[in-house]
Structure 1
Amino acid sequence: MKVLKFGGSSVANAERIKLVKKIVESNAKDDKQIIVVSAFSGVTDLLLEAAEQAALRNEGYTQIMEEIEKRHLDTARELLPVSSQSKILSAVKRELNTLETLLEGAFLIGETTSKLLDRILGYGELLSSYIIGEFFVSEGLDAIHKDSRTLIKTDENYGRAAVDFTTTNHLCETYFGTVTYKIIVAPGFVASSANGNSTTLGRGGSDYTAAIMAGAVNASVLEIWTDVSGMYTANPKLVKQAFAIPDISYEEAMELSHFGAKVLYPPTIQPVLMRGIPIHIRNTFHPEEKGTFIRKNTNGSSRPVRGISHIDNMALLSLEGSGMVGISGISKRFFEVLSLHNINVALITQASSEHSICIGIAEKDMQKAEKAVNEAFEYEIAAKKLNPVIVEDHLAIVALVGDNMKSHQGLSGKMFSALGQNNVNIRAIAQGASERNISAVIHKSDVKKALNTLHERFFEDNVKQLNIFVMGVGNVGEKFLNQIDRQKKYLKEKLRLNVRVVALSNSRKMYFDDNGIDLKNWKEALENGEAAGKEKFFEKVKELNLRNSIFVDNTASDIVAATYADYLKNSIAVVTCNKIACSSVFEHYSLLKDLSRKYNAPFLFETNVGAGLPIIDTLKNLVASGDKVNKIQAVLSGSLNFVFNNFNDKNSFNEVVKQAQAEGYTEPDPKIDLSGIDVMRKILILARESGYALEIADIENESFLPQESLDTVSVDDFYKSLADHKSHFEKIYTDAASKGCRLKYVAQFENGKAKVGLQHIPKDHPFYNLEGKDNIVLFFTERYNEQPLLVKGAGAGADVTASGIFADIIRAGNM
């Protein structure tokens, strides 16, 4: 004999009930089937609302009653042939009239007792099962409807009645053992006391009904049909990568259900567990899918963690004080008072010093619990032996579950490390003696991030998802996005990094998609986005609260650079080619570095010096390994190197600068490059990364530009000034050429001092043959004191800058 239970979503309307009939019909050739059904989706909530309105003497309950009546009558008419509708509709209306009478009673007396509420709430299942049973009969199935109240007997603890299993098992064995019909349709949730009063089995009662019947008849299987394809590794609504667990033990299923996996109600397992009856979770809308089998622990899974679950809307209640140490009975009194007030405890943790006890309870019970505990320990609190109870709300519990966890070392460390790296603060920790679960209390706003982080760590073969938020999609930004799009497959397969661009912004528009932006159509998506704003962008990033978030700044904006601290404080990594932040006042530079360390958020700016060249990374490795930088000589401006490599007696200086800008080698305002400020920023950053506290004002700048050019206020005026001073630049060139030298704009740092300026470079110098837009850096250190460590290569251009940003993204992902 099989027992099949169909939940509210499976019987929500006539179309879905027809799907149920197909499933039942496909098993008709097998043994008997007991079909347990829930109320139509949403009906129990409507019944509860109607009862509440009636108790408040609000006549609005009659409108709710009309909605309930319409849903049931319309469904019956759609399912049943006209020839058999009259009798069945009359029976449904009689039940609805009785229900209306009960609600009128609540309206007249202005209250609902728990006994009355049980009668009212049971009508959802009573009506749905009757209509479905009659539909089966009309379709030619060998079916009968049976009222579960005649089979399941309970005490009179209304709202959550306890089952009398001796009587119930006897009644079920007798009825199901003798009934000749192949299909018996029964309502879930409802039962009755020995005195014949209607009772209910509490939350998840329909699952429980099915399990009670399955246990009583020793069914071959209990099938729970719902709207998902089994028990998932995590909530699939929050974790898109979650997948159905094919096989799981009873104990693991109970743990997952206890911690919020809503597919199954924990008490459901008890009646079938003792008899070893398997439970099969299946999808009504995809019956071809395998679902999840719950049975004795026979799985050979190599994964120690089988699932991740969570409970929302929790609170922590802490009782602490020196008066607890060494005093017996405190814990007993604490838990006794909670029990007396029907407050369920979901988590317990106690300090080994016995100085405090901390418990997790439902947030709705928080105020009741606080009042009850403070009253119970009023004397100790007044005597200063205990502190008034401490309450924290807006919390949630996340839990790792698995039978094999106890035989694997380091799981707790991996769990807490993964959460910590994503700035998920843990308020309390608990681990059962069976080591079947590890639980952590976190803020409820972090639940989605925590679940995704843990799922990635334990179920996705260590493929790390990086969520990228990009500010600036101009020349460099566009190249960067193209590179990501081309390399996504390689990154996932070879580096185990799943890189998703979640947000884009330019100066006018910004666009967010937390599922990842299609990089083949990003321009259209951005154009249709909302109005841009630096603060709005940051608030949206913070609101999404995604794991492994990285903010990428491809701008040259001081306003954007000023936001880095906000991102780092929220454990959001910052990758930037914008030199402004790292060349700002030393105090701010140090703050950003400190925030990066404090909040475990990488702050990477390799492209600040040398575009894609590994200059800063090389310098960091030298310093980290204990080497000391004594001197740096460098050509750090690919823009200026391009200009002076192309400037000669045949080309005017003005034309060469325009060419450099057109080919993307200069900033939008070329005066930033030609004034030397860009090179000053770069040598300043290298000096700081070498361990020196320098300011930009400490750097000597030997400018080659006329003062008039430096004083211009627009790009057009700057170019006009360059043209007006043509002879000045020609003289600079001829002076160098006459000595057999080439012009190079050189930055130098030595003995704690830095300077930048145009120099005549002779033929025997390493800088002489530096071509095109190349950069070169010479590091003279204690280890490299005779021959400097040399880094050379393309130091400007959108492609190489974008590749440098890309490299920093990969570095951040591997941290």
Structure 2
Amino acid sequence: MQVLKFGGTSVGTPHNIRLVKEIIQEKSLQDSTVVVVSAFGGVTNRLIQSSKLAASGDESYQVILTQIVEQHIETAQQLIDLKNQSPIMGQLRLLLNELEDILRGVFLVREISNKTLDKISCYGEILSARIITYFLQESEVSVALADPKQFIHTDKQHGKANVYFEETNKAILDYFVAPFKIFVCPGFLASASNGETTTLGRGGSDYTAAIIAAALDAPCIEIWTDVSGMMTANPQWVPNAYVIEEMDYEEAMELTHFGAKVLYPPSIQPVLRKGIPVFIKNTFKKTDPGTKIHGLGKKNGQIIKGLSCIENIALLNLSGSSMVGIPHFSYRLFETLASVQISVILITQASSEHSICVAIDQEEMQKAKEAIESAFSEEIRQQKLNPLRIDTDLAIVALVGSNMKEQIGVSGRMLSILGNNGINIIAIAQGSSEKNISAVIQKNQIKKAMNSLHESFFLSDIKRVNLFVVGTGNVGKALLKQIDLQTEYLKEKHHLDLKIVGIANSRKMHFEEEGIDLTTPFSYLEEKAQKMETHLFLEQMINMNLRNSIFIDNTAEESIALTYDVVLRKSISVVTPNKIACTGKYADYKKLKTVALRYKSHFHFETNVGAGLPIINTLNDLIKSGDEILGIEAVLSGSLNFIFNNYDGEESLFSEVVKQAQIEGYTEPDPRIDLSGVDVKRKVLILLRESGFEMEMDDIEAVPFIPEECMKAVTVDNFFSLLEKHEAVFQKKMKEAEEAGKKLKYVATYKNGKAETGLRLIEKSHPLYNLEGKDNIVLFTTKRYPEQPLVVKGAGAGADVTASGIFGDIMRIANTFREN
């Protein structure tokens, strides 16, 4: 005899019940069949809700009751032919009237016991089984409605009764000898020795099926639900979760204990003892193979078989000097919790026995607090014990797999993954069997934790990186285009999946958790976006709580730069060409670097100095390897180099060349920012700070070369007019250079502790002399390169090269994610 069980979603609608009938009919052709059914989806919850409302004197319980009545009557009417409805309607009315009478009694006495709650809550299964039995009887002559109260016997612990297996097994064997092809049995309910109705706990219909299967020595048990098997993780949290083909009983028990709701945890025990395989199947995709749970799970080299979590956890921490060396202390704690029927989910205790932590369901927190404080009141009063500490709004994430005991470093890898994503581990536990590693974390970190672990242990070939981009000007547009062009290449060759999940310009912002379509990224900012406000952008980014996140600031806004500290503290890395954060006060710059280290985030700003040139990375490699910077000589402004390479003092005016640089995007919209040398000062300051020197902007002397009247112009247009007026100044400088056989370059230097910027005449033998176009060049004189400086040279301005530098920083960070 085979045993099938159908869950609440499988029997949730008339359409679904018709699908169930097809499955039952197909299966019953093979062998006699016991069909265990749950209540219609959501009915048990509503029965309990209406019971609590009635007990509180709230007449709205009747509204819920009416909904339950209508649902069952309408389902029967839709399933059963009109001419055959009379008998079933009479039975349903009788049952529903009984339910109404019980709830009315609860309402009148304003009280409900666990015994009465058992009586009420099992009506969902009774009604469901009655309707499905009658529906099957229309086309199947050999169908009987089974009464589990006659063969599943328990103690009197209402709410979650304990089964008397010896008595139950005998009763089942006697009961199912009747000559019926199909038995339909309501799950969840049972009876005590005095005939009182008991229940097997929420989800107990699985348990009912397992008890029957074990007693009958069934060849297997099939649990039909709305998913195609046990999954590597809850798809509610992890969209990339997939079905596990096979697993052993212990792995299944661990996963179900830690929140995998496909199967009720106690259901494994009866079939485990008999070695009966369990199949998890999908009612709506009946040809899917599902998951097979049996004695020898498939050994496919996978270290971790599944990932699960339990929400709404409270952590109770009892500590104090009186715990040390005192026998029976732990016993007293667990006895106290057991006396008020509180289940302990996780335990951790220091070897010193100075403290002990237990995790429980948060709903039972107050009851546990009162019981513990009462049991240990004397020790707390004498200050031998500290007051009980309770942490709430927590969750437990658990890695499960029998192969973990054969693999070194799984715990360390788990902790590293969580830590690198800024997830604080509050407590951790691992059994000696090494089939489960559990960590307590903040509830609001579940999504990031689950996806980070799942990606690393199950999808390690592809690492997703989530990008939040602020600023869609020339550089921002170039960056998005480059990412779009490289997306498939990065997936195929580097196993990286870059997703733009947040985007903003100065006016609008938009978020798409599964990634913005990069073929039309700016349409989102026009059609779907909300108003851009920096604090709201940060709030949304942080609340999305995505793993492997990078914040990219393509602006030159101080208000955005001031947010980096907050972003880095959330373990979100920062990439930016914005120089403001690195050129403010030295203490603020140092703080950002420290915060990034502390919170396992990254702060990269290669494009602050030379656009796409690897200047900062080269410098960092020198310093990390133990070298020391003695001097720096550099042309760090692509715009100024372009200007002086294109101005000859004869064919074109200086103002015209500056205008050309502005039009081609080599200068800021206001060229005075470039011509003032402020930008170069910022760049050399960053290099000096990265070299290990504690310097401020005021420590760098800037020698001006633009007439003061021009720099004080009211508008940019006025500036160009004044620049033309002072053309003789620039012609004179150019003539001096030509007569000396030299070239004008705007150079930043550092030597003997002194830094300065300004125009210099460069002789032909110098490396700076032949610097063309908008190129940048940096010469590092170090202890290892004292005579012949280390040279970094290349294009130092333009949207494309700057975007490529930002892209490079993104890739450097992404590669660290891939290594975890």
TM-score band w.r.t. shorter chain: over 0.9
Which residue in the other structure is 1:405 paired with? 404
Residue 420 (str. 1) matches residue 419 (str. 2): yes
**Alpha-carbon distance in 1 for matches of 2:139, 2:723:** 92
Q: Is the 8 A contact 1:55 1:107 kept in 2?
A: yes
Which residue in the other structure is 2:626 paired with? 626
Letter in 2 for 1:745: Y
- Measure how far apart 1:368 and its partner are: 1.8
Which residue in the other structure is 1:126 paired with? 126
**Alpha-carbon distance in 2 for matches of 1:260, 1:720:** 73
Letter in 1 for 2:495: R
Matched residue SS, 1:65:
helix
Which residue in the other structure is 1:74 paired with? 74
TM-score, with structure 2 as normaliser: 0.97
Letter in 2 for 1:66: T
Which residue in the other structure is 2:607 paired with? 607
- Measure how far apart 1:295 and its partner are: 0.6
Residue 432 (str. 1) matches residue 431 (str. 2): yes
**Alpha-carbon distance in 2 for matches of 1:69, 1:372:** 40
**Alpha-carbon distance in 1 for matches of 2:355, 2:192:** 43
* 502-511 vs 705-714, greater mean Cα deviation: 705-714
Letter in 1 for 2:75: T
**Alpha-carbon distance in 2 for matches of 1:598, 1:535:** 23
Which residue in the other structure is 2:364 paired with? 365
Matched-pair identity in %: 53
Which residue in the other structure is 1:19 paired with? 19
Matched residue SS, 2:415:
helix
- Measure how far apart 1:123 and its partner are: 0.9
Describe how 1:203-222 pairs up with structure 2 within 5 A. Answer: 203-222=202-221
Letter in 1 for 2:633: Q
**Alpha-carbon distance in 2 for matches of 1:200, 1:600:** 49
**Alpha-carbon distance in 2 for matches of 1:745, 1:208:** 81
- Measure how far apart 1:15 and its partner are: 0.9
**Alpha-carbon distance in 2 for matches of 1:316, 1:175:** 46
Residue 571 (str. 1) matches residue 568 (str. 2): no
* 334-343 vs 46-55, greater mean Cα deviation: 46-55
Matched residue SS, 1:308:
strand
Which residue in the other structure is 1:106 paired with? 106
Which residue in the other structure is 1:585 paired with? 585
Q: Gapped runs of 5+ residues in structure 2?
A: none
**Alpha-carbon distance in 1 for matches of 2:761, 2:575:** 36
- Measure how far apart 1:713 and its partner are: 4.1
- Measure how far apart 1:193 and its partner are: 2.2
CA deviation map 1:42-100 (0-9, x unaligned): 11122112222222233222222211111011111111111211111121111111111
- Measure how far apart 1:717 and its partner are: 2.7
- Measure how far apart 1:422 and its partner are: 1.0
Which residue in the other structure is 2:232 paired with? 233
Residue 58 (str. 1) matches residue 58 (str. 2): yes
Describe how 1:328-727 pairs up with structure 2 within 5 A. Answer: 328-527=327-526, 528-648=528-648, 649-727=650-728
Which residue in the other structure is 2:798 paired with? 797
Q: Is the 8 A contact 1:777 1:792 kept in 2?
A: yes
- Measure how far apart 1:668 and its partner are: 2.5
- Measure how far apart 1:221 and its partner are: 1.2
**Alpha-carbon distance in 1 for matches of 2:239, 2:98:** 46
**Alpha-carbon distance in 2 for matches of 1:632, 1:811:** 26
Q: Is the 8 A contact 1:225 1:281 kept in 2?
A: yes
| Cα distance, 1:142–1:489 mapped onto 2, change above 3 Å | farther
**Alpha-carbon distance in 2 for matches of 1:222, 1:570:** 47
Which residue in the other structure is 1:173 paired with? 173
Letter in 2 for 1:664: G
**Alpha-carbon distance in 1 for matches of 2:686, 2:397:** 43
Matched residue SS, 1:10:
coil
Which residue in the other structure is 2:312 paired with? 313
Q: Is the 8 A contact 1:25 1:141 kept in 2?
A: no
Equivalent pairs, count: 814
- Measure how far apart 1:462 and its partner are: 4.8
| Cα distance, 1:30–1:757 mapped onto 2, change above 3 Å | same
Letter in 2 for 1:329: H
Which residue in the other structure is 1:287 paired with? 286
Q: Is the 8 A contact 1:51 1:117 kept in 2?
A: yes
Letter in 2 for 1:685: I
Describe how 1:227-306 pairs up with structure 2 within 5 A. Answer: 227-306=226-305
* 52-61 vs 208-217, greater mean Cα deviation: 52-61
CA deviation map 1:337-360 (0-9, x unaligned): 111111111111111111111111
* 414-423 vs 732-741, greater mean Cα deviation: 732-741
Which residue in the other structure is 1:183 paired with? 182
Letter in 2 for 1:243: Y
Letter in 1 for 2:478: K
CA deviation map 1:418-449 (0-9, x unaligned): 11111111111111111111111111111111
* 569-578 vs 483-492, greater mean Cα deviation: 483-492
**Alpha-carbon distance in 2 for matches of 1:776, 1:524:** 39
Matched residue SS, 1:199:
strand
**Alpha-carbon distance in 1 for matches of 2:140, 2:385:** 70
Matched residue SS, 2:582:
coil
CA deviation map 1:592-635 (0-9, x unaligned): 11111111211100001110010000000001111111111111
**Alpha-carbon distance in 1 for matches of 2:389, 2:607:** 49
**Alpha-carbon distance in 1 for matches of 2:425, 2:315:** 12
- Measure how far apart 1:768 and its partner are: 1.6
**Alpha-carbon distance in 1 for matches of 2:441, 2:171:** 47
Describe how 1:35-46 pairs up with structure 2 within 5 A. Answer: 35-46=35-46
Q: Is the 8 A contact 1:583 1:589 kept in 2?
A: yes
- Measure how far apart 1:142 and its partner are: 4.1
| Cα distance, 1:250–1:771 mapped onto 2, change above 3 Å | same
Which residue in the other structure is 1:747 paired with? 748
Which residue in the other structure is 1:5 paired with? 5
Q: Is the 8 A contact 1:144 1:185 kept in 2?
A: yes
Q: Is the 8 A contact 1:550 1:574 kept in 2?
A: yes
Letter in 2 for 1:774: D
**Alpha-carbon distance in 2 for matches of 1:286, 1:186:** 23
Which residue in the other structure is 1:770 paired with? 771
Letter in 1 for 2:564: Y
Q: Is the 8 A contact 1:20 1:284 kept in 2?
A: yes
Q: Is the 8 A contact 1:794 1:800 kept in 2?
A: yes
Q: Is the 8 A contact 1:692 1:752 kept in 2?
A: no
- Measure how far apart 1:383 and its partner are: 2.3
- Measure how far apart 1:654 and its partner are: 1.8
- Measure how far apart 1:151 and its partner are: 2.3
Letter in 2 for 1:730: Q
Which residue in the other structure is 2:117 paired with? 117
**Alpha-carbon distance in 2 for matches of 1:609, 1:685:** 8
Letter in 2 for 1:42: G
Which residue in the other structure is 1:808 paired with? 809
- Measure how far apart 1:636 and its partner are: 0.7
* 188-197 vs 781-790, greater mean Cα deviation: 188-197
**Alpha-carbon distance in 1 for matches of 2:247, 2:719:** 73
**Alpha-carbon distance in 2 for matches of 1:79, 1:720:** 87
* 386-395 vs 618-627, greater mean Cα deviation: 386-395
Matched residue SS, 1:184:
strand
Letter in 1 for 2:23: I
**Alpha-carbon distance in 1 for matches of 2:391, 2:172:** 47
Matched residue SS, 2:126:
helix
Letter in 1 for 2:722: S
**Alpha-carbon distance in 2 for matches of 1:567, 1:59:** 50
- Measure how far apart 1:141 and its partner are: 6.5
